[in-house]
Amino acid sequence: MLERIKSTVSFIQDKTNSYPEVGIILGTGLGGLVKDIKIEHSLDYDSIPEFPVSTVDGHHGRLIFGELGGKKIVAMQGRFHFYEGYPMEMVTFPVRVMKYLGIKTLLVSNASGGVNPDYEIGDLMIINDHINLIPNPLIGKHTHEFGVRFPDMSEPYDHGLIKKAEELAKKQNIKVQVGCYVATTGPTFETPKEYQYFRIIGGDTVGMSTVPEVVVARQMGIPCFAISIITDLGVPGKIVEVTHEEVQKVASKAETKMTMIMKKLISQL
């Protein structure tokens, strides 16, 4: 794995000569952030050796290098999910590549279903903890160079970044929730009882991404920040049919708020 990562990294460095300090996974809701990046290079995933190729509608597939908020960044436009059939080490491969490209912080977005009865559709939630119900991406042969065999998870999401983001949101008059994200494999959305279960075990929202990338980043010592758009509610009495299209529609409405928080956060890193 290490050799594959290093060969991908040297390919990228040859092509871009870029040394980004911030990595961004442009999940649902952050698509519009691309417009604000002063793009210097962009590489389609299918042109990068060893890289997986994304298969979901609404998720593009390229790695973008440039400047945003005065920082050198690398952004993944399109991410990989376990439900697409990739092994977990491939779902998280790009995060390892970003680490070896030099990132010092990882920023992530996603969409999720709210199970906290106080949440509303269209709310943003800063993730302050997670419950991982997807296979752990660190299962398998241990590579010392990535970090320890048994990584600490007492602060999966960086407290300093959370505080900064909360302050920024307040200043901009943007309402944000702060809570726990339950990660499931998907690709089915939840049954009413599954939503109820995720609430009982301590979740505020449920979604199908982010946690694999964060686990791998934390093993490698990268501070993480993640934010979610609540696109539907798994709350008794409020459960209606959920579709991927509806998730995308709600997310695009909340995009401006999320983009603003991320942009300001990056400029303050």
Rule CB under 6 A: which residues touch ligand HPA? 111-113, 189-190, 206-208, 231-232, 234, 242, 247
Helix axis angle, 159-171 relative to 244-267, nearest 10°?
100
Phi first, then psi, for residue 119 (nearest 5°) are: -85, 155
Closest CB 140 distance from ligand HPA, rounded Å:
26
Instruction: With residue 227 as reference, give the H or E element that holds it.
Output: strand 224-233
Nearer to ligand HPA, 77 or 231 (CB): 231
CB-wise, 8 or 231, nearer to ligand HPA?
A: 231
**Residue sitting closest to ligand HPA (CB):** 113
- Select 7 or 185, whichever has its Cβ closest to ligand HPA: 185
Q: How far is CA 1 from the centre of its chain?
A: 22
CB 105 to ligand HPA: min, Å: 24
Shortest distance (Å) from residue 231 CB to ligand HPA: 5
Residue closer to ligand HPA (CB basis): 65 or 195: 195
Please report the DSSP string for 122-164 in residue order: T-EEEEEEEEE-SPPTT-SS--GGG--SS---S-SS-HHHHHH
- Specify whether the CB–CB gap between 115 and 232 falls below 8 A: no
Q: Nearer Cβ to ligand HPA, position 41 or 238?
A: 238
Give the residue carrying structure tokens 């960044």. Answer: 73
* Shortest Cβ 115–ligand HPA spacing (Å): 8
Q: How far is the CB of 183 from ligand HPA (least distance, A)?
A: 9
